[in-house]
Structures are given as C-alpha cells and as structure tokens.
Chain A
C-alpha cells in the first residue's frame, strides 16, 4: 500500500537560514510526487512535482526537491527562508495514470523566527 511519512511535525528556523523538510514514501514503482503548502484556513498550493527525468526539480517561491529512489525520499529544500514561508507543508504521492487519489503525509508545520 502507498504511504507517505513526514518525520518532522514541527520545525522552527531563523529567517535567512536554509530549510530541508523530509518526506519518505512507500510505493511499488516510481510514483508521482508532490509538495503542497497550506496557509492557515486556506487550500493547498502546489509548490513542485516530480514525474520522471531529472531528479532535482525546481518549484515556485525558490523551493526545490530531490527525488532519491534508493532512499524512497523526496525532500524539500530552500536555501534562505523568508518569514512569509511560515505555513504547513505536505508531501503527497500519486499513482501514475490512476488519477485522482493522492496520499498525503501528516504535514510539517514551519515556523520562522525573525
């Protein structure tokens, strides 16, 4: 069965510091992988996605993620965090061509210290 684990429930970083949010997945083949961000009371905004090809993918707002098949990981990174990045981040996995069903991790809440 597919599953997604985000080991860190809450992370606090200082503004300007680098960030890495961890995501591990379980899936029999290479899944589609996504990172979404959610601000309080809002829906989910897509940050980036991986389907195939280059394992380092660039997203919006300066985020990037690296797919590592050997580690079943898809960690999200940002070199310099801004206060506006404070939000909850969700990693998700989808099955190729099976449409419609994303399995989400439990989320990582990011706080940014001034």
Chain B
C-alpha cells in the first residue's frame, strides 16, 4: 500500500497570504489528522476529520481550518499567515480499527516571510 502523501512538500509565502495544504491518506483509511511541528512548541494537534466531519479539534485560532472529501483526502487552510505559522505540517491517517494507529506523511514545510 502506498503511504500517506502530502503536497506540496515545501511552500514559501508572505505574511497576510493564505495557503492550502493537501493530504492523501493510506488507501482504506477514513480518519485524517493534522499536526503542526515547530522547534518551540513541538508537535501539536490541529484537528481530525472522519467521514468528512471534523471530529476533534486542537487549540488553534480560527485561521486554521480543514476539510475532508468523500475519498478521504483532506486539505487544511491557513488564512492571513503570520510569521509564527512557519512550521512543518504533518498529516496522519488511521483506519480506526481497534488500535487507532496513526501513520504519518512526510510533511509540508511552510515558511512565512
């Protein structure tokens, strides 16, 4: 099975712009979670989608949003970018069997100038 894929791998934006990141889960996985990784805050949970519905949400401002499509692919959007949004954004998918194990993609490196 192919793993979790994320596009693009690298992005450079300027403050005030918006950005959309994409995640394709492992085939058959219906849950997709997003995480932000920064040197200062570490790995922080953004939100989780299951069957096109946001089921769980972390403590991030409303500028961070996401959605999931019927094929389980997910996108996250960040509006009005700030310098502090520079981070590695990781997507993980899970089959939600008895173990809820999450498998991560390679991430999208976002740099905000």
Contacts A98-B56, A100-B50, A101-B45 known; A36 to B104 CB distance under 8 Å?
Answer: yes
A51 CA / B97 CA spacing, docked (Å): 12
Q: Does A17 contact B (CB under 8 A)?
A: no
Q: Does B99 contact A (CB under 8 A)?
A: yes
Q: Does B113 contact A (CB under 8 A)?
A: no
Q: Least Cβ distance of A94 to chain B in Å?
A: 6
- Which one, B31, B56, B105, contacts A43 given CB within 8 A? B105
> Are A94 and B100 in contact, CB atoms less than 8 angstroms apart?
yes
Q: Does A46 contact B (CB under 8 A)?
A: yes
The residues in A between 26 and 81 inclusive whose CB is less than 8 angstroms from any CB of B are 32, 34, 36, 41-46, 49, 51
> Are B101 and A99 in contact, CB atoms less than 8 angstroms apart?
no
How many A-B residue contacts, CB cutoff 8 Å?
Answer: 70
> Are B94 and A100 in contact, CB atoms less than 8 angstroms apart?
yes
Q: Which residue of A lies closest to B32 (CB)?
A: A100
Q: Least Cβ distance of A70 to chain B in Å?
A: 24
- Which one, A32, A43, A49, contacts B107 given CB within 8 A? A43
Q: Hey, what's the 0/1 contact readout for B65-101 against A, CB within 8 Å counting as 1?
A: 0000000000000000000000000101010101111
Chief secondary structure at chain B's binding surface: strand
> Are B56 and A101 in contact, CB atoms less than 8 angstroms apart?
yes
Q: Place the interface of chain B in its size category.
A: 20 to 34
Q: Which residue of B lies closest to A90 (CB)?
A: B43
Q: Least Cβ distance of B56 to chain A in Å?
A: 5
> Are B42 and A102 in contact, CB atoms less than 8 angstroms apart?
no
- Which one, A36, A45, A46, A99, contacts B48 given CB within 8 A? A99
A36 CA / B101 CA spacing, docked (Å): 11
> Are B55 and A32 in contact, CB atoms less than 8 angstroms apart?
no
Q: Does A103 contact B (CB under 8 A)?
A: yes
> Are A46 and B55 in contact, CB atoms less than 8 angstroms apart?
no
Q: Does B64 contact A (CB under 8 A)?
A: no
Contacts A42-B106, A43-B106, A44-B90 known; A103 to B45 CB distance under 8 Å?
Answer: yes
A residues whose Cβ falls under 8 Å from a Cβ of B: 32, 34, 36, 41-46, 49, 51, 90, 92, 94, 96-107
